[in-house]
Structure 1
């Protein structure tokens, strides 16, 4: 296969059910659109139902909309119940939604907004839906991380919710590092079950609405350089699409743009930071995440 993997390489998705969070705009929209255009039944899981319906109307395919607010465990449980009732089987769960560089805020459950949305919300949703994926051959959980997992990133167990001091950059880095650690730990737990795999992806630097909370001093240079360094959402979605559909993908892999320090380009398998592979921290994060969300997975920890 050519190194330029694109939407044309997506295999026929007919008969597959895909749930994409944050799919009414940007990367999530392009991911959902491409899957639907290749035959998948796609659910746009979004906070704003009206925007979700408008997005669905622009997509040519079998698309429905599901209310999902990842900042609320009650909403996540309600959405999971709806999805379970509507879909006895799920082939793809794409954990795409996210917030970036927000001012210090908390979710409905008191979690720091970036950690609560980007990691804990998706951790809870995945756990509540996983038994719909486990029996399905070729099913995948794809979680979108970021190059930001390398920037001032650590799992701050002594202050996970940033109650004592707050850095929006470091908090974002923590949430994106958590996405990768979640993927790697989930894959280990899935391995004995065989059918389902966990994969991660990142979009490089994509010109989407995600940067709206970036401080002005940072956002203005980003905007100025956008045409030079960033790529559009259609290209930014390709690593996620490859992770979700390429038959050669295996569990525990990480996909991102192949050029310019993973900033842009066609998707390929890439490496994540050494910190993301710390199994002890992965296990501890998993335990804490179950405690915070109240969601216990149907795949127990392996004996190490």
Structure 2
């Protein structure tokens, strides 16, 4: 497959990227900034966010800004959305990128398990809060590991009745992302909206995502192992950039084209049978609305 780096010009388009101070999100911001986009880096740590923003093309021209967002905290999600809606009359693309992997068991201030809160529920709430101002599309970041999450239990998302397994919790949260993407697209189509919901995953990309495991050996193996076998983060970021900028239908899922979707250039990615389960997607949506207090808006 031929390499793809031909990102279309993005002048006059505004992107919001969660978790953009490092890893894939940072590289997405850099690529989009280099093509003339306006970029909002939504970061939990403002100091790290500002340091990252200064490295994004367009920063000196005022096209790159940083806003605080802790996607695992629903109060922070609401505050961020309110501020953004008051500041901008339109947003072209929301890139739901922030994520955690292998975190020890913990509940957020909202009583939600960390992986589910960060990787899915906060982005679910943020998307629905911003949706009336989004002009083009929502990009949901999943993982090839979503295939290991088929045993998701929507009645025990806090892992109160099951032995907690951090990597299983991650896989199930990434399955939730794909179910969310598909159900969001169905609801957008039913509402007559031209906004698209699409997804992407970065394959094996060298990032710092294992830094929050709480286990020094696993963190060390993850950090150094990725640098030995994974693609550079900018290569993995191209899948997200492709999903965010190319003319693709809603409910399209993009990932690396190579073997096992670990390496390669942006291409159509495979999803599990569970990720195509419309009944499960509807059930998850209902539970997510109840947990977040946010519903699909009138468009």
- The TM-score with structure 1 as length reference comes to 0.92
Structure 1 segment 7-156 matched on structure 2, within 5 A: 9-61=6-58, 62-133=63-134, 136=135, 139-156=136-153
Asked if the contact 1:229–1:264 (Cα under 8 Å) also holds between the matched residues in 2, the reply is no
2:167 alignment partner in structure 1: 169
Query: What is the distance in 1 between the residues matched to 2:240 and 2:33?
Result: 14
| CA displacement at 1:190 relative to structure 2 | 1.0
2:290 alignment partner in structure 1: 291
Asked if the contact 1:259–1:266 (Cα under 8 Å) also holds between the matched residues in 2, the reply is yes
| CA displacement at 1:155 relative to structure 2 | 2.2
Gaps of 5+ in 2: none
Assess, with a 3 A threshold, how the Cα gap between structure 1 residues 189 and 265 changes in structure 2: closer, same or farther.
same
1:255 alignment partner in structure 2: 254
- The TM-score with structure 2 as length reference comes to 0.93
| CA displacement at 1:191 relative to structure 2 | 1.5
Query: What is the distance in 2 between the residues matched to 1:213 and 1:281?
Result: 29
Query: What is the distance in 2 between the residues matched to 1:245 and 1:152?
Result: 28
| CA displacement at 1:145 relative to structure 2 | 0.4
| CA displacement at 1:260 relative to structure 2 | 2.3
Structure 1 segment 134-283 matched on structure 2, within 5 A: 136=135, 139-164=136-161, 165-192=163-190, 193-214=192-213, 215=215, 218-219=218-219, 221-223=221-223, 225-247=225-247, 249-283=248-282
| CA displacement at 1:299 relative to structure 2 | 5.5
Assess, with a 3 A threshold, how the Cα gap between structure 1 residues 299 and 243 changes in structure 2: closer, same or farther.
farther
**Where do 4+ consecutive residues of structure 1 move more than 4 Å?**
214-225
Query: What is the distance in 2 between the residues matched to 1:188 and 1:3?
Result: 32
| CA displacement at 1:223 relative to structure 2 | 4.8
Assess, with a 3 A threshold, how the Cα gap between structure 1 residues 292 and 223 changes in structure 2: closer, same or farther.
closer
* 1:176-232 deviation digits (Å, cap 9, x = unpaired): 000000000001111142420000100001111102245556555545543452111
- Number of matched residues? 292
| CA displacement at 1:163 relative to structure 2 | 1.9
